[in-house]
Amino acid sequence: MEKPQTYAVLGAGPVGYVLSISLALRGYNVELFEKRSDPLTTQQSDEWRSTNFLLFQRAFPAFRKIGVLDEVLQFSAKMDKLKIILKDLDEFELNYKGKSQETFAYSMNRKEIQKILAKRIKDFPENIKVNYNTSISNVKIDQSSFDVKHSDGRVETKSGYDMIFGTDGIHSVVKEAFFSIPGFSYLREYNGYGYTELQIPAFEAAEGNQFRVQEKTFFHWPRKEVDTHMWGMPNYDGNINIGLILKITGEYSFEYFKSSGFEVFQKFMFEQFPETRYLMPNMKDLYEKCQLTRIASMKCGPWRYGNFQLIGDSAHCQNPFGALGFNGHMEECSLIADLLDKHESNWNQISDEFYAIRKPISDKMNEYGEAQFSLMKYKLFDEQIQIMIFFKLHFNQSDFMIQISYNA
């Protein structure tokens, strides 16, 4: 009998989890390593620097294939309206859906996805060994090895896996090991902006949590004069997750507000977004907790060397304004599952086909994310016609998605 393949998956973000489950479902053994703690038992350290995921239909096959789609939808909030609120409180409201019911967008908190996947992975105790609080370093491509630092400080060198997947995000240590390989190309760009997470908390009523603002709505508050943009996405529990875009440095920047203190920040918020006066009763607390994530895009290639394979943000990462990053990664996980069925454990064929299909698409997604960011920042302000352009591009994304989808 042929020995079952054993794989190492380095990083338990959404991609690492989904990939591990896909492999286990096909009978392979997986060792999953994650530097953070178990999201089911502790709060992870990325609180207040994330924003919700905008989920589109293209993410669904991956969830369906690993048996979590119903739960994902149960903990998501459907959005069927887009509301743009200008500074003088003029509002524009548009229907927010694609050509069919199927192309509604959903909003989902990153923490909830992590929890659903962390729970699902426990259904495979025979096949998946999860190691939380273990940090990977010292990746050696030529020796197919890497070091694992355990929470007690012990360092262990691991090797002997049939394949090793770098699912360790944009700052991937696996990808760093690729830098020394001739022919590897890499481009990472920061655009000088970042986003931080705030919240409009649910109104707690006797009959259950109520939204403080209109339900099922994707809110946008563009503010060109101060180079800022705020958006709001609903959660299933009545909270609205807020993303606030700020410059990294300079006037009205994250650095400026953090160093000038809460009063300066609150004054700015009340001036620019007057509704926050009553919608964010917890602003001081949020100000103290909030952290900035820099907006970055990154592309590289090839994604495979030796028996190391990059997947997810470690392979390519988009400006989140295209709303394609997470959705695109889930589509890639679905493709990997299909390729595993097609080529079984022949990773030479799987990697080649995966790269040939997804590299051009991911490069296109990078361009689209940047274009979308400019559109939102510079065009989404004054005139309804510009809003319509934005709407057409962003919310008819299903059309765009179909064009670049691997199975179109």
Ligand X SMILES: Cc1cc2nc3c(=O)[nH]c(=O)nc-3n(C[C@H](O)[C@H](O)[C@H](O)COP(=O)(O)OP(=O)(O)OC[C@H]3O[C@@H](n4cnc5c(N)ncnc54)[C@H](O)[C@@H]3O)c2cc1C
Applying CB under 6 A, which residues contact ligand X?
Answer: 10-16, 33-36, 46, 49-51, 53, 110, 135-136, 167-169, 173, 293, 312-313, 320, 325-326, 329
Q: Where are the alpha helices (DSSP H) in 66-172?
A: 69-74, 110-121
| Nearest CB to ligand X, comparing residues 89 and 107 | 107
- Residue with the two structure tokens 């355990």: 150
- For ligand X, which is the closer residue by CB, 53 or 395? 53
- Which residues have a Cβ under 8 Å from the Cβ of 123 and sit 6 or more positions away? none
> Which amino acid, residue 180?
S
CA-to-CA distance for 380 and 387, rounded, in angstroms?
5
Interatomic CA distance for residues 374 and 378, integer angstroms:
6
Shortest reach from residue 323's CB to ligand X, in Å: 7
Which residue, 313 or 370, has its beta carbon nearer to ligand X?
A: 313
At closest approach, how far in Å is the CB of 382 from ligand X?
27
Q: How far is the CB of 235 from ligand X (least distance, A)?
A: 13
Compare residues 238 and 312 and give the one whose CB is closer to ligand X. 312
Which C-beta is closer to ligand X: that of 44 or that of 266?
44
Closest to ligand X by CB, 194 or 281: 194
Residue 153 or 182: the one with the smaller Cβ distance to ligand X is: 153
Residue whose CB is nearest to ligand X in the complex, by number: 13
**Coil, strand or helix: which one is 348?**
helix
Would you say 135 or 345 has its CB closer to ligand X? 135
Least distance in angstroms from the C-beta of 260 to ligand X:
25
H-only helix segments in 261-324: 262-272, 276-279, 283-289
Least separation in angstroms between CB 54 and ligand X: 7
Rounded to whole angstroms, how far apart are CA atoms 103 and 400? Answer: 12
Minimum CB separation of residue 366 from ligand X in Å reads 12
Count helices and strands (H / E) in the chain.
13, 22
Judged by DSSP in three states, 60 sits in helix
Q: Which helix (H) or strand (E) holds 218?
A: strand 217-223
**CA-CA distance, 43 to 346, in Å (whole number)?**
38
CA distance linking residue 227 with residue 403, whole number of Å: 32
Nearest distance, CB of residue 90 and ligand X, angstroms: 28
- Least CB distance from residue 38 to ligand X, whole Å? 11
3-class SS at 235?
coil
Cα–Cα distance, 332 to 354 (Å, whole number): 8
